[in-house]
Amino acid sequence: MEQVIKIEGGHLLNGEVRISGSKNATVALIPAAILAKGPVTIVGVPNISDVESLSTLLNELNVSVIHKSKDHIIIDPTNMENKPLDHRAVTKLRASYYFMGALLGKYGEVKMKMPGGCYLGPRPIDLHLKGFEALGAQIEYVEGSYLIKADKLVGAKIFLDVSSVGATINIMMAAVYAEGRTTIENAAKEPEIIDVATLLNKMGAQVRGAGTNVITIDGVEDLGGCFHEIIPDRIEAGTFIVMAAAAAEKMKISNIIPQHLESLLSKLQEMGVKMDVDVDCVTVEKSDKLKAVDIKTLPYPGFATDLQQPLTALLTQTTGDSTVKETIYPERFKHCTELQRMGADIEVGQGLSVIHGPTKLYGDSVTATDLRCGASLVIAGLIADGVTEIHDVNHIDRGYDDLDGKLKQLGAVIWREEIE
């Protein structure tokens, strides 16, 4: 039996949606919490399957995870043991690699399987490993597992060839207990990195410069428990803002940080979307003719690669030709094939797609090949004629907290079915 999501298109969305805590911050904050010697309370945790996978891995390490309420967890590493991480959950979840930095930082040794996740083209972890080596670790790859060991970790100057979010966070976590000062140059600047640094500093770490391209970490001997609230999910916020532009009469997206969404909001303004941006919310109203725009994905604060797929669904409705240039994951165009099944007129080249609009979309059977492709198909389903049936919805559940529930409250006709 397989579960599918079905959407009947053509129903206008109305009302307010509240954005959950950031998935990309959560999957790093949970591993970071094990660096503490006492309990860490995290609030605003999204209800997504990635969190379940991380909880499974924490249990493997004998860390207790208490779910106090829907979005409130307590992670207690008091009785933690450093065990090899070869559980199936590692291969389901790319962010499990954050346990590398956390365990190396805390114990000077880690053994774990190669992490998995959505396939978006090559996503090597060599930058993470180079960072660990610079801090004094030796790395072996034995029978499908990494063995990373250090007699002691010593601060170093590390230059990242690519400003990778994962490598920046992983090196930060490995360095908090290292002797002396670590400097990460060409560090990524994403808001999620600031959130992880904030948590580490509340625990007693000395991390400065998060959000800029140079981060310094002065090693400390001890980290304690703390309380932390996760930032709102800028990608979920962006997804709902695009949905509103595509399919809403009047819709308010609340619990957001507009500054994190500037690249998207300015593009939507250029397209002619009617929006009112407030301190922590955006209200979108139905706009007539939308204009085609060109997008180029870039590291933050540039246009987020995670939002180009949802936006492509909206671009099928604009007048003219839109171009999407993907500089982060040049292979990230599987959603285009699925949108073509629904009637979209899209040409895909190397690291590039051209969307000819406007075209009418028709409900069809499509597959969520990855998380944000799933979001793109949901948006397409909302505006298509007839019923859209989305397969492989586990990808959507990995990163969106109760997507169908939130849409139902806004007036979408969306449901799940088990099919043979």
d(CA 312, CA 335) in angstroms, rounded, equals: 9
139-148: average pLDDT: 90
Any domain includes 232:
no
Mean pLDDT of the chain: 95
Considering the domain architecture, whether residues 136 and 6 belong to the same structural domain is answered as no
Any domain includes 230:
no
% pLDDT > 70, the chain: 98
Considering the domain architecture, whether residues 266 and 184 belong to the same structural domain is answered as no
State yes or no: 74 annotated in a binding site.
no
| Residue spans of alpha helices (H) in 216-304 | 234-247, 262-271
State yes or no: 241 annotated in a binding site.
no
Any domain includes 162:
yes
State yes or no: 402 annotated in a binding site.
no
Kindly list the catalytic residues: 118
Residue 143 reports pLDDT greater than 90: no
- What pLDDT does residue 120 have? 57
Considering the domain architecture, whether residues 196 and 308 belong to the same structural domain is answered as no
Any domain includes 57:
yes
Q: How many domains does the chain have?
A: 2
Any domain includes 237:
no
Considering the domain architecture, whether residues 144 and 292 belong to the same structural domain is answered as no
- CATH number of domain containing 62: 3.65.10.10
For residue 81, give the amino acid letter: E
What domain range includes position 106? 23-222
> Which run of H or of E encompasses 197?
helix 191-203
Q: Phi, psi at residue 69, to the nearest 5°?
A: -150, -170
Report residue 387 as tokens: 């019923």
Task: State the pairing for strand pair 72-76/40-43.
Answer: antiparallel
Any domain includes 349:
yes
d(CA 417, CA 420) in angstroms, rounded, equals: 10
Residue 123 reports pLDDT greater than 60: no
Considering the domain architecture, whether residues 160 and 291 belong to the same structural domain is answered as no
d(CA 326, CA 109) in angstroms, rounded, equals: 37
Cβ–Cβ < 8 Å for 105, 221: no
Q: Environment class of residue 174 by beta-carbon count within 10 Å: exposed (0-12), middle (13-18) or buried (19+)? A: buried
Residue 224 reports pLDDT greater than 90: yes
196-209: average pLDDT: 98
Considering the domain architecture, whether residues 45 and 189 belong to the same structural domain is answered as yes
d(CA 384, CA 43) in angstroms, rounded, equals: 37
State yes or no: 398 annotated in a binding site.
no
Any domain includes 171:
yes
Any domain includes 255:
no
**Residue 90: band (very low, low, confident or very high) from pLDDT cuts 50, 70, 90:** confident
Considering the domain architecture, whether residues 189 and 63 belong to the same structural domain is answered as yes
291-318: average pLDDT: 97
247-266: average pLDDT: 98
381-394: average pLDDT: 98
Considering the domain architecture, whether residues 302 and 176 belong to the same structural domain is answered as no
- What pLDDT does residue 122 have? 53
Q: What is the DSSP letter of 288?
A: S
Residues 6 or more apart whose CB falls under 8 angstroms from that of 405 comprise: none
Considering the domain architecture, whether residues 157 and 44 belong to the same structural domain is answered as yes
State yes or no: 232 annotated in a binding site.
no
State yes or no: 77 annotated in a binding site.
no
- Strands (E) across 24-144 are located at 40-43, 64-69, 72-76, 109-113, 138-142
Residue 144 reports pLDDT greater than 90: no
* Cβ atoms within 10 Å, residue 55: 18
**Residue 288: band (very low, low, confident or very high) from pLDDT cuts 50, 70, 90:** confident
Considering the domain architecture, whether residues 198 and 332 belong to the same structural domain is answered as no
399-405: average pLDDT: 95
Evaluated on CA atoms 358, 343, 335, 18, the torsion sign reads positive
State yes or no: 61 annotated in a binding site.
no
Considering the domain architecture, whether residues 298 and 400 belong to the same structural domain is answered as yes
State yes or no: 94 annotated in a binding site.
yes
**Residue 117: band (very low, low, confident or very high) from pLDDT cuts 50, 70, 90:** low
State yes or no: 328 annotated in a binding site.
yes
Q: Report pLDDT digits (tens) over 159-180.
A: 999 999 999 999 999 999 999 9
State yes or no: 256 annotated in a binding site.
no
> Which run of H or of E encompasses 314?
helix 305-315
Cβ–Cβ < 8 Å for 351, 329: no
- What pLDDT does residue 226 have? 98
Residue 70 reports pLDDT greater than 90: no
Considering the domain architecture, whether residues 149 and 178 belong to the same structural domain is answered as yes
